[in-house]
Each structure stands twice: as structure tokens, then as C-alpha cells.
């Protein structure tokens, strides 16, 4: 068997491994060759797998890059997604003169542009892949149209060429933008020079130390699902209450809205931030104490005036009751205060006459009504400050039909009487002419 071994291989094995017999050395070489071939085949398979994986990733990256570039460069029209609607009315508005524009949107074109400048960025929407967003100008116009007429969303959708759900969404978005961006800027109690101007203006109306008049009105709503009986007022229709402070320019300086129509005026006042601000202060001064006046040893602070439905406080004055039993001085005081308080009624007439969504039932949810009222008050103040005149025909449109729009009668407040407030009221009443001359 040894004679069959190749002499050369035997010599090589003897050189490499002197102690290993020639036949065993050959077997080891064969084993090493097999292992080497296996490792080489495994490396080839792994290299091929990594190459295929690299090609797949490269192909996916190229496809995603091409898709992104095409989405930016090209516009794909998908008529199945977009319903073609008429936009004749909105297209015609650019041809309106100033009178036609104001008749449609209840504000002048200049006031419209002013409001748009203030909230335009807030109501602007970014462009999506397949939809062009509605421009802010059209969004504001839809909302003002709804404020001015309180029409159904379906009617507004047909006029502006959009969907019904789109109108609902846009109206809510614009209302939120107006309240969030503009409320604190245009609705605030007077201070500094504004306070001095307000006091001077009410003094010209023959009532001293007055920083505004407070009153309330009912805003019609549809019957809510939860506790509808709470929203039924004494006139038999559903409403929420708006409590507001008005200055000499018929602008709102404090707005509190949303309480159910069955609530009393005193209950609404006691829950308002205005009441808490005045009553929680140790000195009970709503306005700076240094502006108070002394008359016959009695300090008369800067205060608000109200009707008989609210309580008498040092910061809140009202007239005397039972006029037939009053002295001449008390009658004069009551008449003068009522005359100065008439700014509240004028402000409410202008507010509702301009924005008829506060004059008739709307399909807005009752939880949204406080923001609707606040937004309308902000727009009212902007119009008044800019001299955007209230048209006489808007008052005619407010004529009540049946018993629906007649406000509930004022119920006199019969709660606790604040003794110091009575002293202040008597001092003003019996020294009115002297105080006005100071």
C-alpha cells in the first residue's frame, strides 16, 4: 500500500511535517482545500446579498426623491376629490363700490382690510398636495356674512362655492382668531388717559365720577340638548345673557356672556370677573383710589352705573326706586343716571343691528355662543373706533315680530343693601350740582 504513494508528495509531506506519515499528510491537504472552497463560496453569497440589499435601498431612495420633486413641481388635478361649485358672488364682490360692500358685509372695505391685516396670518392655511387653500380674505368674508345674516351654512356654501362643512369650520376658525388675537386689545376697562376721557364725557352728560354703564341683554339660541329649561327666559324663548360695560363712545369695555336665559341679572353679575375684581380687593375700588372726590366728608370713588336689576355698591351706582316718593334731588339724580345709562341701550342696538346672528336663533352650539358674542363685540368696537357708521336701516330690521324678540322686563334687585353705598348715592344726589362744578 505504501508503494502506491507518489514519491514527490511523500517528499513534500516529509518536509512540511517530518513526523507525519505521507498518506496522512495528503488527507490533511484535501481537508484544507475543502474548507477553503467552503469559505470562498460563503463570502461570495454574502457579497451577493449585500449587493442586492444596496441596490434595493438605492432604488427606493431614487423613487422617493423623484416623487418629492414631482409633488413640488407639478399639480395633479383630481376632479373626483373636488366638487365644482359656482363662485359668482365672491367673484363679483371685487366689483362692488363702497356702499354695496358695506351693505353686504356690514363694514366698510377699509375696516374689512384692517381686520384682515390683524388676523390674516392666523386664518391662513398652507397648501396641500392636491388642494388649494381658501384665501384669508374669502374666509373673513364668509364669517362676516354669517355674522351679518346668520344664514344657514348651505346658503353661504352656495354663495362662496365651498362645501357646507368647510363653511362651518371656517366660521369657527375665524371666530377663534378674532377672540384670541383681538379681544384684549379692543375690549378692556378704561385706564390712564382713556379713563380721564370717559369720566369727562359722562360729566358732560351731567353725571360725575362715572367710568361706564353696565347692562344686560338676551341673545336668542336654539333649544340646547342639555337642560333646555334653564335657557328659557321669562318671555318664553331660549337665550343666553350678555352682560357688558359700555363707555361714552358706545364701545364695550367688559363683556361677559353665556349664562342661561333664566338667570337673574344679579346672579350673572356675581359670577363675573368684573364683580370678583371689585369685591375681592381690600379697599373695594374698581378704579384708582386717587381719582376719588370728597364731598361733605364722603369719598366718592370712580364707579359704574346700572339699572334697578343690579345691587347697589360703592363701585356700582343705580337710581332710586318708587319715583313718586322721592325728593326733587333724588328724582334729578335718578333721571340723570338713567340718561347717562342709555349708552348701554344704544350700544346693544348697534351691536345686534349690525350683527344679526345675535338677533335670531342660529345653528351654532350653545357652548360656542360666548365666543360668538365676544367676537361680535370686538368687531363692534373696531367699527365704532374707526368711525364706520351704523346705517339707520339696520335699526329698522330689528323690529320684533310677535313676542319673540321682546326682551324680558327688568326685575328690581331685592337683596342685601350696602349701607356705605347708600351714603355715597345720597351724597351725589344732594350735592350733584356742586360736584359737577368741581
Distance CA 279, CA 303 (A): 13
Domain of residue 24 covers 2-73
Residue 83 lies in a domain: no
Whether residues 53 and 180 fall in one domain: no
Q: Taking Cα atoms as reference points, which of 370, 410, 402, 412 lies closest to residue 237? A: 402
How far apart, in whole angstroms, are the C-alpha atoms of residue 380 and residue 394?
14
pLDDT tens, position by position, 353-390? 999 999 888 778 899 999 999 999 999 999 999 999 99
Asked if residue 175 and residue 101 are part of one domain, the reply reads: yes
Are residues 69 and 96 part of one domain?
A: no
In 3D space, the residue among 21, 4, 57, 405 whose CA is nearest the CA of residue 218 turns out to be: 405
Other Cβ atoms less than 10 A from the Cβ of 357: the count is 24
Q: Which residue has the higher pLDDT, 130 or 102?
A: 102
Q: Is residue 403 part of a domain?
A: yes
Same-domain pairing of 236 and 332: yes
| Domain co-membership, 428 together with 294 | yes
pLDDT bracket for residue 84 (50, 70, 90): very low
Does 80 reside within a domain? Answer: no
CA dist 330 and 323 (Å) reads 8
Question: Is there a single domain that holds both residue 165 and residue 202?
Answer: no
> Which domain-ending residue is among 157, 185, 213?
185
- Based on the domain organization, do 127 and 181 belong to the same domain? yes
Helix (H, G, I), strand (E, B) or coil at 402: coil
* 160 vs 153: CA distance, rounded Å: 11
Predicted pLDDT at 212: 97
- The tally of domains found in the chain comes to 3
pLDDT computed for residue 5 by the predictor: 47
Kindly state whether residues 277 and 373 are assigned to the same domain: yes
List all residues 6 or more positions away from 386 whose beta carbon is below 8 Å from its beta carbon: 110, 111, 114
Mean pLDDT (the chain, rounded): 86
- List pLDDT tens digits, range 180-213: 999 999 999 999 999 999 999 999 999 999 999 9
pLDDT winner (highest mean) among 147-156, 325-334, 396-405: 325-334
- Cα dihedral 51, 57, 60, 66 in deg (nearest 10): -100
Which of 158, 185, 212 delimits the end of a domain? 185
The structure's pTM equals: 0.78
Do 395 and 280 lie in one domain? The reply is yes
User: Other CB atoms closer than 10 Å to residue 13's CB: what's the count?
Assistant: 21
State the pLDDT at residue 22.
54
Residues 239 and 221: beta-carbon distance below 8 Å: yes
1 close to 24: Cβ distance less than 8 angstroms = no
Distance between CA 45 and CA 166 in Å, rounded? 59
* Same domain? 133 vs 14: no
33 plus 94 within the same structural domain = no
Q: Does any domain span residue 96?
A: yes
Based on the fold, state whether residues 37 and 96 are members of the same structural domain.
no
Strands (E), 205-357: 210-220, 239-246, 252-260, 293-295, 298-300, 303-305, 316-317
pLDDT tens for each residue of 408-438? 999 999 888 889 999 999 999 999 999 998 7
Q: Which of 120, 150, 185 is the last residue of a domain?
A: 185
Amino acid at each position: 500500500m505504501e508503494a502506491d504513494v507518489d514519491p514527490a508528495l511523500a517528499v513534500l509531506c516529509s518536509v512540511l511535517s517530518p513526523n507525519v506519515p505521507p498518506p496522512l499528510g495528503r488527507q490533511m491537504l484535501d481537508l484544507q482545500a475543502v474548507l477553503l472552497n467552503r469559505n470562498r463560496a460563503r463570502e461570495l453569497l454574502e457579497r451577493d446579498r449585500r449587493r442586492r440589499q444596496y441596490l434595493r435601498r438605492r432604488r427606493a431612495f431614487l423613487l422617493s426623491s423623484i416623487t418629492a420633486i414631482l409633488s413640488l413641481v407639478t399639480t395633479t388635478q383630481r376632479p373626483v376629490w373636488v366638487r365644482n361649485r359656482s363662485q359668482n358672488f365672491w367673484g363679483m364682490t371685487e366689483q362692488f363700490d363702497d356702499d354695496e360692500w358695506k351693505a353686504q358685509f356690514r363694514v366698510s372695505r377699509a375696516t374689512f382690510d384692517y381686520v384682515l391685516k390683524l388676523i390674516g396670518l392666523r386664518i391662513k392655511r398652507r397648501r396641500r398636495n392636491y388642494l388649494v387653500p381658501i384665501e384669508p380674505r374669502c374666509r373673513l368674508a364668509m364669517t362676516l356674512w354669517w355674522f351679518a345674516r346668520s344664514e344657514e351654512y348651505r346658503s353661504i356654501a352656495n354663495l362662496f362655492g365651498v362645501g357646507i362643512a368647510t363653511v362651518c369650520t371656517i366660521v369657527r376658525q375665524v371666530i377663534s382668531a378674532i377672540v384670541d388675537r383681538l379681544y384684549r386689545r379692543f375690549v378692556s376697562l378704561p385706564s390712564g388717559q382713556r379713563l380721564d376721557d370717559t369720566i369727562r364725557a359722562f360729566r358732560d352728560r351731567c353725571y360725575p365720577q362715572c367710568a361706564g354703564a353696565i347692562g344686560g341683554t338676551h341673545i336668542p339660541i336654539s333649544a340646547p340638548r342639555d337642560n333646555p329649561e334653564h335657557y328659557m327666559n321669562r318671555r318664553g324663548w331660549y337665550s343666553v345673557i350678555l352682560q357688558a360695560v359700555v363707555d361714552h363712545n358706545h364701545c364695550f369695555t367688559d363683556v361677559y356672556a353665556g349664562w342661561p336665559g333664566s338667570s337673574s341679572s344679579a346672579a350673572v353679575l356675581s359670577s363675573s370677573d368684573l364683580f370678583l375684581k371689585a369685591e375681592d380687593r381690600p379697599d373695594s375700588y374698581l378704579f384708582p383710589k386717587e381719582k376719588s372726590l370728597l364731598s361733605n366728608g364722603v369719598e366718592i370713588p370712580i364707579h359704574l352705573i346700572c339699572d334697578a336689576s343690579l345691587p347697589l355698591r360703592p363701585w356700582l351706582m343705580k337710581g332710586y326706586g318708587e319715583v313718586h316718593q322721592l325728593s326733587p334731588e333724588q328724582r334729578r339724580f335718578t333721571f340723570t343716571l338713567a340718561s347717562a345709562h342709555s349708552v348701554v341701550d344704544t350700544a346693544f342696538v348697534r351691536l345686534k343691528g349690525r350683527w344679526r346672528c345675535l338677533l335670531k336663533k342660529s345653528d351654532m352650539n350653545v357652548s360656542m355662543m360666548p365666543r360668538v358674542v365676544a367676537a361680535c363685540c370686538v368687531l363692534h368696537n373696531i367699527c365704532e373706533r374707526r368711525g364706520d357708521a351704523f346705517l339707520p336701516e339696520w335699526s329698522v330690521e330689528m323690529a320684533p315680530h310677535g313676542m319673540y324678540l321682546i326682551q324680558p322686563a327688568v326685575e328690581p334687585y331685592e337683596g342685601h343693601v350696602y349701607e356705605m353705598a347708600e351714603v355715597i348715592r345720597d351724597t351725589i344726589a344732594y350735592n350733584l350740582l356742586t360736584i359737577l362744578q368741581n
